[in-house]
Structure formats: structure tokens, C-alpha cells
Amino acid sequence: MKTAQEMKPNSVALIDGQPWLIQKAEYTKSGRNSAIVKMKLKNLLSGSSTETVYKFDDKMEPANLDRIEVTFSYSSDSVYVFMDGEYNQYELNADDLENVLPFIVDGMTDICNAVFFEGKVISVDLPTTIVRQIVYTEGSARGDTSGKVMKDARLSNGTVIKVADFCNADEWIEIDSRTGEYKSRAKAPV
């Protein structure tokens, strides 16, 4: 058993014997209120979705999942295709990738993990740290070099994230794929 706080997006919980994919998990602790985790769940058998709230220390039963390494091949409409080392292709809908979709870009070379439940691919995990290119951001108005002042920056797929004020268009940056937060400047991937 794991606590609700330990259950991360793309993991699967067994609830009343049914497998539920955790598509989103938002932890909140505020004032005297209970620390809670709000989850968006998708039933892997019926496809239905629901939202729940758990206290952070409520116990949940994780399902056994298998993972294999894949890379992103292409997308067509809302279908995303990944391929393993033996050229097997795995198709996922945008809905299945909700958590990582903001960071899937054409030409990405990240080694990802396709996640399987009882032989069926259910989602994809990105590496914790990914490198992406800024295609547009405003110039640095204040000349801040501390990294504490943040501004919006747009990636090639249209995703907008907060980056340090000193970052420029065309630069490459490291992002924490779990949180979507900017980490640092980076070199262009080779």
C-alpha cells in the first residue's frame, strides 16, 4: 500500500478491484486544512473519468505496471505514436498523455518509458529532466541575473512556462517534467 501523496501521475491504483490511472495529482496544504491530494482518475477498463480527493496519508493500493523504453515517433491528429528498440509502435490518445502532453514536441529524442497495465499501453513517462528550446520570450527588461525573477516563455509546441528573466528566445532550457518548472539554461542536444 502507498499513501495518496506517494501515488504519482501515470501510476495506477486499484479501487474496488478496478484499475484507475492517475492522470493528475495535485497536493494542497493550506492553513489548518487537511493536506489533501486531488486526483483525476481514468478507469482503464471502461475509459470513464472521475475526480477524487484523498487525505495525503490515506492508503491506496498500487497496481503492478510494466515499463519499456520508447522514443517519440510522430503524432497525427490526436494520436501519438511511440516506438521501442525493436520498432514496435505504440499508439496513445492525447487524453492518455494529459500529464506529459505539454512537453511532447516534434523531433524530441528523449528516452521515455511506455507504461503498461496487463499488456495494454496506458501512458508514457518522460525523463525527469528534459531539454526544450524557447521559441519566443520577451527580452529581459530589468537585467536580473539572480534567476528569481520569472517571465513567460513559449516552446515550439505552444506550451508556455515560466523561465528565468535572463533567458532568451532560441535558447535551450532544462525543465522538470514532473512539475513543468524551469530548472536552468542548457546546451542544445546533439
Q: Which three cell numbers stand for residue 65?
A: 505496471
C-alpha torsion 41→47→48→54, nearest 10: -20
Contacting range for other proteins; rule: CB under 8 A; set: 22-30, 98-106, 142-150, 169-177 = 22-30
Least separation, in Å, of the C-beta of 179 and other proteins? Answer: 16
Least separation, in Å, of the C-beta of 49 and other proteins? Answer: 9
Contacting range for other proteins; rule: CB under 8 A; set: 29-37, 90-98, 114-122, 140-148 = 29-37
d(CA 88, CA 92): 13
Least separation, in Å, of the C-beta of 40 and other proteins? Answer: 11
Task: Pick the binder of other proteins from 2, 3, 6, 15 (CB under 8 A).
Answer: 15
First to last CA, the chain: 42
- At 97, phi and psi to the nearest 5? -110, 15
Q: Which three cell numbers stand for residue 121?
A: 499501453
Phi-psi region of 12 (alpha: psi -120 to 50; beta: other; left: phi over 0): beta
Contacting range for other proteins; rule: CB under 8 A; set: 18-26, 134-142, 145-153, 175-183 = 18-26
Least separation, in Å, of the C-beta of 44 and other proteins? Answer: 13
Could you tell me which residues are beta bridge partners of residue 105? none
**For residue 119, what are the contacts with CB-CB under 8 A and spacing of at least 6?**
66
- From residue 46 to residue 85, the character string flagging contacts with other proteins as x (rule: CB under 8 A) and all else as - is --x-xxxxxx--xx--------------------------
Least separation, in Å, of the C-beta of 21 and other proteins? Answer: 13
Residue 45 as a binder of other proteins (CB under 8 A): the answer is: no
Could you tell me which residues are beta bridge partners of residue 153? 137, 161
**For residue 9, what are the contacts with CB-CB under 8 A and spacing of at least 6?**
22, 23, 24, 25, 99, 178
Residue 32 as a binder of other proteins (CB under 8 A): the answer is: yes
Residue 18 as a binder of other proteins (CB under 8 A): the answer is: yes
d(CA 54, CA 160): 30
What are the residues binding other proteins (CB under 8 A)?
15-16, 18, 20, 26, 28-34, 36, 38, 41, 48, 50-55, 58-59
